Structure formats: structure tokens, C-alpha cells
């Protein structure tokens, strides 16, 4: 599938979710005409007890809580990549305080509208949301102390370019904390080709070591997986794409899909993969 086609699929599906306005508790966020019934909230974690949590911003589309491992300090500038309706942005805003700044980036206009509406209600003057793609961030060089993202990089066709951009916008010595979906083995071909599974964070995922090597190549020589959990997909989700025999083989193969949180630091003396 071509990169532009993937981006269009993601925009359409997440635009539908934003239009529905269904938060985390509304289980199935698949498109209304979808026969597959893909539940985009299957990877999500409970944010409800975190300071700064805003239920209106929580669509349950993440696969971790990247702020838990981000080491965000008062006064930091934080960038959230694929900010959606602002869930992680508002948690980060609580951590940076009045002296800090949080910038949310998203390529889906309807999600940005939701995020801006939520921020208007909260009245934060040091939070902003910008339209843009992660492979070409609308952010100046050396802007952020911390970059975060939650189940979004797997949706990006050019992951190397995305991580090069993260390296570019981080200050020297800055770091990222990113939750994402990776694989331990290749997915069956029908799952890889399924549009719903792209938007559901599965078909665009890479094997774990390949994913980590891309991050290193982008300019982060030291990368640590700080959290990892196995994700199980139900027979109901898989059966539209796999035959009965394929489904049995898939289940028998053991853990294939993982949710991980990765942390890496931009060195003060090393050029990013985009520039050196």
C-alpha cells in the first residue's frame, strides 16, 4: 500500500472517530460501515487517575502512557506527536506547569478541532495545537526538552524520517518517550493488507528489533524499552481477514503483537540521522 493511501486511510478513520465524539468507554470506534468491527481502543490504558486527565480528550486510542516514563519537569517544552483530542497533552501540561509549554501536532483537522475546543474550556495559555505530519514537523530545530507520542508512529509510513524529525526538534540532551505497537513475527498477508488494521495500529507495525534499529539510525544510539506487554486480538476481530486454518495457526504461534514504551536521548555532540 502506498504511503499517501495509508495516510488517507488514517485521516478518514480518525476523522470519523472525532466526528462521533465517542470517548474511551465507547468500545468500538470502527467506521460505521465496516464489517470488520475493529476496536481501536484494544490497546488503551486507564488514564482516569492521572493529574491533568480530561475525559473529553480521551478517545482510548493509545497503547501506553508515555508521560509515565518521560521525566517531564516543570518548565519543560513538550511536543506530543499525533496528539488527537489532547489526552496526553493535558497530562503533560500538568507536569510542565505554568512555566512550561506543550505543543500538540496532528494531521487530522477534526481531531485538532476537538483538541482546541477542549483546551478552550480548560483555559491553558501555554498549550497549542498545530496541523502537521510527523515526517515534516511544523516545529523549529532544537525546540523541545521532551517529545512524547502514543500509538501513532506505527501509523507513519516513513518511520525513519519521523524519528529523524523527532531528533531535529529536540534540544541537545533532550529525550523522547514513545508508546507504540511492534511485532515479534510477521503478520499474515491478509492482515498486513487490511485498511482497518492499518488505522487500528496493527498492519503498520514493524518487528521490534527493526523498529528499534530505525530509531538508532535516526540519531538515538541508546534506546531503552521501559515497558512491554502482549496484546491479544479476539477471534471476532481476526476472522474477517483470516481463514479458520490461518486463525488457528496465528493463535498457535504465540505472542506476535506487543505494546512497548521506548525512551531515547538526543546526544549533545552527535548529529541526527537527518544531518550527519
pLDDT at 3 over 90: no
Higher pLDDT, 72 or 43: 72
Collect all residues with Cβ–Cβ distance below 8 Å to 190 and sequence separation of at least 6.
Answer: 241, 242, 246
Higher pLDDT, 147 or 199: 147
CATH number of the domain that residue 141 is part of:
3.40.50.150
Q: Say what the pTM is.
A: 0.87
Domain that holds residue 38: 3-265
Higher pLDDT, 154 or 4: 154
**Sign of the C-alpha dihedral, residues 233, 214, 107, 7?**
negative
Mean pLDDT of 206-218: 96
Whole-number pLDDT of residue 30: 35
pLDDT at 23 over 50: no
pLDDT at 276 over 50: no
SS (H, E, C) 38-99: CCCCCCCCCCCCCCCCCHHHCCCCCCCCHHHHCCCCCCCEEEEECCCCCHHHHHHHHHHCCC
Residue 276 maps to a domain: no
Collect all residues with Cβ–Cβ distance below 8 Å to 80 and sequence separation of at least 6.
Answer: 88, 89, 92, 102, 103, 104, 105, 147, 148, 149, 150
Q: Of 25-29, 138-142, 161-165, where does mean pLDDT reach its minimum?
A: 25-29
Residue 181 maps to a domain: yes
Higher pLDDT, 227 or 195: 227
Residue 125 maps to a domain: yes
pLDDT at 262 over 60: yes
In the chain, what percentage of residues exceed pLDDT 70?
84
Report the candidate in 215, 240, 217, 212 with the shortest Cα–Cα distance to residue 228. Answer: 212
- As a whole number, the mean pLDDT across the chain is 85
Q: What tens digit of pLDDT does each residue of 80-134 get? A: 999 999 999 999 999 999 999 999 999 999 999 999 999 999 999 999 999 999 9
Residue 273 maps to a domain: no
* pLDDT category of residue 244 using cuts at 50, 70 and 90: confident
Whole-number pLDDT of residue 43: 79
Residue in this structure with the C-alpha cell 524520517, named with its chain if needed: 161
In the chain, what percentage of residues exceed pLDDT 90?
58
Whole-number pLDDT of residue 37: 54
Residue 272 maps to a domain: no
**What is the secondary structure of 114-148 as a DSSP string?**
HHHHHHHHHT-SSEEEEE-BTTB-SS-TT-EEEEE
Residue 200 maps to a domain: yes
Strand partners, 146: 78, 175
Report how many domains make up the chain: 1
* pLDDT category of residue 199 using cuts at 50, 70 and 90: low
Report in angstroms the alpha-carbon separations of 185 from 162, 203, 235, 252, 255.
23, 12, 19, 13, 9
* pLDDT category of residue 236 using cuts at 50, 70 and 90: confident
Whole-number pLDDT of residue 197: 58
* pLDDT category of residue 69 using cuts at 50, 70 and 90: very high
Amino acid at each position: 500500500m502506498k504511503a499517501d493511501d495509508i495516510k488517507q486511510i488514517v485521516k478518514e478513520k480518525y476523522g470519523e472517530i472525532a466526528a462521533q465524539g465517542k470517548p474511551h468507554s465507547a468500545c468500538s470506534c470502527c467506521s460505521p460501515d465496516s464489517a470488520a468491527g475493529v476496536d481501536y481502543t484494544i490497546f488503551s490504558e486507564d488514564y482516569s487517575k492521572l493529574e491533568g486527565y480530561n475525559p473529553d480528550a480521551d478517545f482510548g486510542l493509545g497503547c501506553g502512557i508515555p508521560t509515565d516514563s518521560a521525566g517531564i519537569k516543570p518548565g519543560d517544552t513538550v511536543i506530543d506527536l499525533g496528539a488527537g483530542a489532547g489526552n496526553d497533552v493535558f497530562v503533560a501540561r500538568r507536569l510542565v506547569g505554568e512555566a512550561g509549554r506543550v505543543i500538540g501536532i496532528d494531521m487530522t483537522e477534526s481531531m485538532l478541532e476537538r483538541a482546541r475546543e477542549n483546551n478552550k474550556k480548560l483555559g491553558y495559555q501555554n498549550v497549542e495545537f498545530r496541523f502537521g505530519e510527523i515526517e515534516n514537523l511544523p516545529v523549529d530545530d532544537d525546540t523541545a526538552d521532551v517529545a512524547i507520542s502514543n500509538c501513532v508512529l506505527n501509523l507513519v509510513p516513513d518511520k525513519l524520517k519521523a524519528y529523524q524529525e523527532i531528533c531535529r526538534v529536540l534540544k541537545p540532551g533532550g529525550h523522547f518517550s514513545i508508546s507504540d505497537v511492534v511485532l515479534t513475527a510477521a503478520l499474515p498477508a491478509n492482515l498486513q493488507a487490511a485498511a482497518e488494521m492499518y488505522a487500528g495500529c496493527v498492519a503498520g507495525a514493524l518487528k521490534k528489533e527493526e523498529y528499534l534499529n530505525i530509531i538508532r539510525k535516526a540519531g538515538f544510539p541508546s534506546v531503552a524499552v521501559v515497558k512491554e506487554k502482549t496484546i491479544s486480538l479476539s477471534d471476532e476481530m481476526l476472522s474477517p481477514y483470516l481463514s479458520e486454518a490461518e486463525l488457528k495457526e496465528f493463535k498457535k504461534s504465540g505472542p506476535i503483537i506487543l505494546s512497548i514504551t521506548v525512551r531515547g536521548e538526543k546526544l549533545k555532540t552527535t548529529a541526527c540521522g537527518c544531518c550527519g
